[in-house]
């Protein structure tokens, strides 16, 4: 297969190295040349700077979209129109605008799109889902996920203030950047019926996006819970807690998955 990688920041580089480890060598790099990592490992691979030219010239079978969140659809829509299969980094976009255009393009061309919510493949979370959905622990009553990162140390090789996670114009902010819990809670517990959120730029960090959020969730199965997200926690911490009754008239069982899922 021929692959096109759009965006060569930390995630794009990881996809690049994974392809090489799998023995894939037919790789084209679509670049803005604004990445803050060195280019040493990319030497020898063809580079393009225009999306349409890259698609027309190289005709890739698959496109990996790993550029800043606000620019995902600028790559994904033409890639879908060209019939490429797409690995689209999470989240799909920072806005609901143009999502229908991507969907329609993929339906017309039979392009398959996989969004990079890789926590769905974590063995611990899959076991938790299996136990909960089988009713082995009883009915889920409450669930809470916590994800805290210290943004200035997240990508230590770059000025955090210029990173996509810190900038509104690139689709940053904790709600969009740290979106994995919102996906895996839906995956494990089920559909969400309603939600609320308090969030904002609360810390002294020099960012123009929300750096903290508390999100409340009500699931269709009756469970209630929430997600806490922040950019200020040292050391970083990821935690998932679920509370279920151990059985009728019995006490409760708490399932807890801590930092090993990070």
**Strand-pair partners of 44:** none
pLDDT at 261: 42
pLDDT at 85: 98
Please tell me the pTM assigned to this model: 0.90
pLDDT at 244: 67
pLDDT at 258: 44
Question: What contacts 257, CB < 8 A, 6 or more positions away?
Answer: 124, 125, 128, 239, 240
pLDDT at 139: 87
**Domains assigned to the chain:** 3-116 (3.40.50.720), 119-261 (3.30.360.10)
pLDDT at 249: 37
- The rounded mean pLDDT for the chain is 92
pLDDT at 37: 85
**Strand-pair partners of 144:** 226, 241
């Amino acid at each position: 297969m021929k692959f096109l990688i759009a965006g060569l920041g930390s995630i794009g580089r990881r996809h690049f190295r994974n392809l090489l480890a799998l023995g894939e060598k037919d790789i084209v790099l679509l670049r803005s040349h604004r990445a803050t990592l060195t280019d040493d490992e990319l030497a020898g691979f063809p580079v393009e700077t225009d999306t349409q030219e890259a698609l027309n010239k190289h005709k890739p079978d698959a496109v990996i979209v790993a550029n800043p969140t606000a620019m995902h659809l600028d790559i994904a829509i033409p890639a879908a129109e060209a019939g490429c299969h797409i690995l689209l980094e999470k989240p799909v976009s920072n806005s609901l605008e143009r999502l229908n255009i991507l969907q329609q393009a993929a339906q017309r061309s039979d392009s398959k799109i996989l969004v990079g919510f890789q926590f769905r493949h974590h063995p611990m979370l899959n076991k938790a889902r299996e136990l909960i959905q089988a009713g082995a622990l009883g009915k889920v009553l409450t669930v809470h996920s916590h994800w805290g990162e210290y943004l200035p140390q997240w990508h230590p090789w770059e000025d955090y203030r210029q990173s996509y996670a810190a900038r509104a114009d690139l689709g940053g902010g904790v709600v969009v950047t740290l979106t994995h819990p919102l996906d895996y809670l839906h995956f494990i517990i089920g559909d969400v019926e309603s939600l609320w959120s308090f969030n904002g730029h609360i810390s002294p960090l020099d960012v123009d996006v929300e750096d903290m959020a508390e999100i409340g969730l009500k699931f269709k199965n009756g469970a209630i819970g929430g997600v806490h997200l922040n950019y200020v926690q040292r050391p970083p911490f990821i935690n998932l807690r679920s509370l279920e009754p151990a059985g009728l008239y019995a006490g409760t069982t708490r399932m807890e998955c801590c930092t090993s899922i990070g």
